[in-house]
Amino acid sequence: MRHEGKSIIVTGAAGAIGFATCEILFREGASVMLVDIDQDRLRERTVQLAENASGATGIAQQVIAHHADCADEAAVEGYVKAATSAFGTIDGFFNNAGIEGRLAPTHEYDVDEFDKIIRVNLRGMFLGLRFVLPHMVAAGRGAVVNTASIGSERGLAGACAYNAAKHGAVGLTRTAASEVAQKGVRVNCVMPGVIETPLLVGMLEQMFDDVAAGMKKLGEVATLNRVGQPREVGDVVSFLLSDEASYVNGAKWEIDGGALATIRNDI
Ligand SMILES: NC(=O)c1ccc[n+]([C@@H]2O[C@H](COP(=O)([O-])OP(=O)(O)OC[C@H]3O[C@@H](n4cnc5c(N)ncnc54)[C@H](O)[C@@H]3O)[C@@H](O)[C@H]2O)c1
């Protein structure tokens, strides 16, 4: 129950990593606001969380859905206002919404597609920080986790916009971390590797004829020799949002089964 009494916003909450994290945060005592642009899935996921978790922890907790485009300034201001009026404070923020977009070499990349991906994955992340951090700074406490990627550390052929945005996510994390640390607020990021989610499938469909075989092949970049599951990201996010991570700030946490640790020379 390390999040008992805390209120946490999760963006991209109708997605695989976001929702797995909501389930963990709720189980550990938090009230959770789920934010997503996919209204139907958001509704389903919120009902699912409230039903599955109802009464499980034995403490009073809220589950709130908020439909919003995380890359729209007014919408971001809107979900932050809704969270403060429902919860009073924002103790944690998982800044996680993202899209994969179309894959193509940089020299052929569609310019509008580039703008679209940067808008959601980078501007959206900035806006989340821009509107959530003032509340945490005023309260003198809070923790943020941004979702970066192993694409923040390496090139991924065909994904120039995605990779540029995810490199930027680390820059935003480090910069914000250095600005708010002495005001009681920590900002870190996670770098998931190959995690089995709809976003990954969207990428695999563009890379391989056989998605299952492609997933197995990509799993082999990890020393653990498999893809990861959303829950394996959520557990690390929950830790970083908790007081147990009180001396962790401006860090990037690899959750990649060891993919970045080595050039695999055994496959
Ligand atoms: N799956 C992987 O292998 C992997 C690896 C590294 C990083 N990531 C990152 O993890 C995060 C979560 O992705 P996922 O893999 O769970 O995929 P997902 O597609 O299951 O979830 C993404 C969610 O973000 C939502 N979303 C997209 N645009 C939005 C917007 N403008 N406003 C609000 N919500 C929006 C989608 O509706 C979806 O529910 C993303 O930032 C992604 O880049 C994923």
- pLDDT, position 266: 78
63-87 per-residue burial string, b: 16 or more CB within 10 A, e: under 16: bbbbbbbbbeeebbebbbebbeeeb
pLDDT at 54 over 70: no
For residue 265, the CA-to-ligand 1 centroid distance in Å is 31
pLDDT at 241 over 90: yes
pLDDT digits (tens, 9 = 90+) for 102-127: 999 999 999 999 999 999 999 999 99
For residue 15, the CA-to-ligand 1 centroid distance in Å is 6
What is the mean predicted confidence (pLDDT) over 237-264? 96
> pLDDT above 90 covers what percent of the chain?
94
Rounded to the nearest 10°, the torsion over CA 87, 89, 92, 95 is 80
pLDDT digits (tens, 9 = 90+) for 161-193: 999 999 999 999 999 999 999 999 999 999 999
pLDDT at 137 over 70: yes
Domains of the chain (ranges, CATH numbers)? 7-258 (3.40.50.720)
Instruction: Determine the atom of ligand 1 nearest the C-alpha atom of 75.
Output: 32
176 in Cβ contact with 187 (< 8 Å): yes
Residues 173, 143: Cα–Cα separation, whole Å: 12
Residues 254, 240: Cα–Cα separation, whole Å: 12
Residues 174, 163: Cα–Cα separation, whole Å: 17
Confidence band, pLDDT 50/70/90 cuts, at residue 147: very high
pLDDT at 246 over 90: yes
Which of 193, 221, 13 shows the shortest CA–CA distance to 98?
13
pLDDT at 33 over 90: yes
pLDDT at 154 over 70: yes
pLDDT at 248 over 70: yes
What is the mean predicted confidence (pLDDT) over 237-246? 98
241 in Cβ contact with 94 (< 8 Å): yes
Q: Mind giving me the DSSP string for the chain?
A: -TTTT-EEEEESTTSHHHHHHHHHHHHTT-EEEEEES-HHHHHHHHHHHHHHHTTTSSS---EEEEE--TT-HHHHHHHHHHHHHHHS---EEEE--------B-GGG--HHHHHHHHIIIIIHHHHHHHHHHHHHHHHT-EEEEEE--GGGTS--TTBHHHHHHHHHHHHHHHHHHHHHGGGTEEEEEEEE-SB-SHHHHHHHHHH-SSHHHHHHHHHTTSTT-S-B-HHHHHHHHHHHHSGGGTT--S-EEEESTTGGG------
- pLDDT, position 249: 98
> What residues line ligand 1, using a CB cutoff of 6 Å?
11-12, 14-18, 36-38, 69-71, 96-99, 120, 124, 147, 149, 192, 194-195, 197-200
Of residues 79, 109, 162, 247, which has the active-site annotation? Answer: 162
Residues 159, 150: Cα–Cα separation, whole Å: 12
Q: Which residues pair with 66 in a beta bridge?
A: 35
What is the mean predicted confidence (pLDDT) over 80-104? 97
Instruction: Determine the atom of ligand 1 nearest the C-alpha atom of 41.
Output: 39
Instruction: Determine the atom of ligand 1 nearest the C-alpha atom of 14.
Output: 39
Q: Which of 79, 191, 197, 253 to mutate to test the pocket of ligand 1 (most atoms within 8 A of CB)?
A: 197
pLDDT at 265 over 70: yes
80 in Cβ contact with 144 (< 8 Å): no
Average pLDDT, the chain: 96
Active site annotation includes 79: no
